[in-house]
Structures are given as structure tokens and as C-alpha cells.
Structure 1
Amino acid sequence: MAKPFRVDIVSPDGLAWSGDAEFVVARTPEGEIGILADHEPVMASLAQGVVSVDAVGGERIRVEVEGGFLQVLSNQVTLITDRAVIEK
């Protein structure tokens, strides 16, 4: 089991998803970025696409995002996006 870290996905409508995760994949203009616990600090632009979150407990959350920013700092991942829709 991977070490968990905190993830918050925020849009103008409020908090779209928040919880502990083991792995996150997001798309940037330069390509995809995969994030595990203890990742080096990063600030990046988000490209339109799907952010995949492997939550603690085995659930995979997929969130359609439209631009924004991603920050990784001290085992906390924050995505601030113009629009976030959780796929069912």
C-alpha cells in the first residue's frame, strides 16, 4: 500500500472532491504528471482533461477539469480549476 497524501479539487462552485489518495494523474500543457506521496514541490498549469485520483480504499475518482492550476506541497495536492465534474 502506498503512503497516502491529501488531495483537494476546487472550482468556483466550491469543493468538488477532498480526501486522501495514494496516486494522482493530471494533464498539464507539457504532458501528464503522476504524483505519489513525498513528491517534490510543483506548481503547474492544468490542461483540459481528466484528473484521476486513486483514493485510499481502492476507489478511483475521475474528475473532468477545464484548465486551472495544480500545486504539490508537503504531501498536499491542490487543484484549482475553472470547472470540475466528477465522472460517475
Structure 2
Amino acid sequence: MAADRRVWDGDASRVVARTTDGEIGILPGHAPLLGVLVEGEIRISGEGADVVATIDGGFLSVDHDRVTIVAETARVGAGSEN
């Protein structure tokens, strides 16, 4: 989600993002987490489609099998379905 719009919403089998502590992969059942995101790509593997978005930084929250990403800007890259 960018600050002004939702970029993607749905079920995902994997989310990969880069935090201030390094790259992290999130799978179903991941422990609760709050992280600070750095500039780079967010990769989401979803229902038959992979989404790649470039962000300038933001925050990531994982809780109860739900991942929420909030970024000031998000640009959906080539090759994504959304």
C-alpha cells in the first residue's frame, strides 16, 4: 500500500522485502514482526501472479498471517499482473 492508494491485496504464499536488518522472506505462519523497510523491491508471490513493487522505504507489519506494508511511494514493476 502506498500512502495514497492500495497497490495489492490478496492471498500470498510468500513476501520478500529488504529491511534495515537485511532481506526477509515471509511465509504463511510467520511470527509477528514489525520492521523498517529500506529503498528496494517488494516481491509478492500470490494466486497465480507475482507482483514486484519498488518502494522508497516504509514499514512492514506481520500479525495473524497478515502482512501490511506501508510506503510513501510504490511503483509496480514490469512483469507483474497488478
| TM-score (normalised: structure 2) | 0.91
CA displacement at 1:64 relative to structure 2: 0.3
Cα RMSD, aligned residues only: 0.8
| Other-structure match for 2:18 | 27
Q: Deviations over 1:13-67 (max 9, x none)?
A: 211111111001000011000000010000000010000001122x111000111
* Residue 36 of structure 2 corresponds to residue 45 of structure 1: yes
| Other-structure match for 1:74 | 64
Q: Distance in 2 between matches of 1:12 and 1:69?
A: 11
| TM-score (normalised: structure 1) | 0.85
Identical-residue share of aligned pairs (%): 37
Secondary structure of the residue aligned to 2:29 is coil
Q: Between Structure 1 and Structure 2, which shows a larger proportion of strand residues?
A: 1
State the number of aligned residues. Answer: 78
Q: Distance in 1 between matches of 2:33 and 2:17?
A: 12
Amino acid in structure 2 at the alignment position of 1:73: D
Q: 2:3 aligns with which of 12, 25, 29?
A: 12
Q: Distance in 2 between matches of 1:30 and 1:12?
A: 23
